[in-house]
């Protein structure tokens, strides 16, 4: 609801006088909401947005434009856009009925034209955007993207939605062998490198477990985690008959990643947290 004011001026014989000020209220019949299907995001996630437009008036609105800034924010002297529109993802409904795909005239900012809202009815626009390399991933990271519905005969309507970076570890593991060529009854070492590209440490409560079946079977195991010796039964289990190896749940922890941004491009640089497990034995 907007308030407007008006005052008249009367001129005569070189004199002027003003009227009283009238006050009126303009009832805006168009309203909108914007919702993300998910509340949290991680790197490279696809996020679906839904914009719902309601027309409470007796006249249809036609040819409206929806413009979404895709979370644009300032970084030094440049503007970064942390979401990338997924080409061809727009769906458009009038009163719940799927309509022909509207025209996307630009992708940064995302600009969708030709939206109609029936009298006493509604329109829904659904589209997908993918989290890109400029999105903040730290524990305080957020993406707030703002959309504006505009067109002839309406006061522009602004809606926004905020999603938060998911606070969780994201783990990967790689395995190496040394030496790669060994004689019978020789010693061999398997090195497991566990990396965490997430913004939260993998703690004991995450119950990280590494399992492996050594073939050929190893004997006389020596197990180290981040340089500290481990004890069989307390930190890991091993069956010399089958070669089955497993760490005990809660023994492995991995520090969180750290994030920086390239000062020129704003692209995110992720430095994973790392933990190393080594298992040596006689083959």
**Domains identified in the chain and CATH numbers:** 30-165 (2.60.40.740), 171-282 (2.60.40)
**Residues, the chain, total?**
283
pLDDT value for 2: 54
pLDDT at residue 21, as a whole number: 86
Instruction: Indicate the pTM of the whole model.
Output: 0.83
Residue partners of 224: CB distance under 8 A and separation at least 6: 230, 277, 278
Least-confidence region, from 20-24, 110-114, 176-180, 257-261: 20-24
214 CA to centre of own chain: 39
Token readout for 4 is 């407007």
Q: What is the pLDDT at residue 4?
A: 61
At 25 the pLDDT is: 52
**Rounded mean pLDDT, 174-189:** 92
For the segment 121-141, the average pLDDT, to the nearest whole number, is: 97
Which one has a higher pLDDT value, 2 or 229?
Answer: 229
Asked whether residue 188 carries a pLDDT value surpassing 70, the answer given is: yes
Which pLDDT belongs to residue 158? Answer: 98
Residue 24 confidence (pLDDT): 54
Q: What does DSSP assign to residue 281? A: E
> What's the DSSP call for residue 256?
P
Alpha carbon distance 61, 118 (integer Å):
6
CA dihedral 9, 12, 13, 15 (to 10 degrees): -30
Contact of 67 with 113, CB cutoff 8 Å: no
pLDDT exceeds cutoff 80 at 243: yes
Structure tokens at 45: 């996630």
The β-bridge partners of 172 are 195
Phi-psi region of 89 (alpha: psi -120 to 50; beta: other; left: phi over 0): alpha
């Amino acid at each position: 609801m907007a308030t407007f004011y008006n005052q008249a001026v009367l001129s005569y014989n070189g004199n002027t006088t003003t009227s009283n000020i009238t006050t009126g209220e303009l009832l805006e019949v168009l309203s909108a909401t914007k919702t993300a299907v998910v509340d949290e995001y991680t790197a490279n996630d696809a996020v679906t947005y839904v914009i719902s437009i309601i027309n409470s008036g007796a006249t249809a609105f036609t040819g409206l434009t929806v413009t979404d800034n895709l979370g644009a924010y300032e970084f030094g002297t440049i503007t970064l856009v942390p979401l990338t529109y997924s080409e061809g993802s727009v769906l458009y409904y009038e009163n719940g009925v799927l309509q022909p795909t509207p025209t996307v005239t630009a992708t940064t900012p995302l600009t969708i034209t030709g939206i109609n809202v029936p009298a006493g009815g509604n329109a829904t626009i659904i589209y997908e955007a993918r989290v890109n390399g400029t999105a903040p991933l730290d524990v305080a990271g957020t993406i707030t993207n703002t959309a504006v519905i505009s067109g002839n005969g309406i006061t522009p309507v602004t809606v926004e939605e905020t999603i938060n970076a998911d606070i969780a570890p994201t783990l990967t593991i790689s395995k190496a062998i040394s030496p790669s060529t060994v004689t019978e009854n020789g010693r061999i070492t398997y090195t497991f490198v566990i990396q965490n590209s997430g913004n939260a440490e993998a703690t004991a409560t995450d119950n990280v477990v590494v399992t492996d079946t050594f073939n050929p079977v190893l004997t006389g195991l020596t197990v180290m985690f981040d340089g500290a010796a481990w004890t069989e039964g307390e930190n890991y289990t091993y069956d010399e008959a089958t070669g089955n190896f497993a760490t005990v749940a809660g023994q492995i922890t991995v520090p969180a990643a750290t994030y920086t941004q390239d000062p020129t491009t704003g692209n995110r640089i992720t430095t994973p947290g790392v933990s190393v497990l080594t298992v040596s034995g006689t083959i």
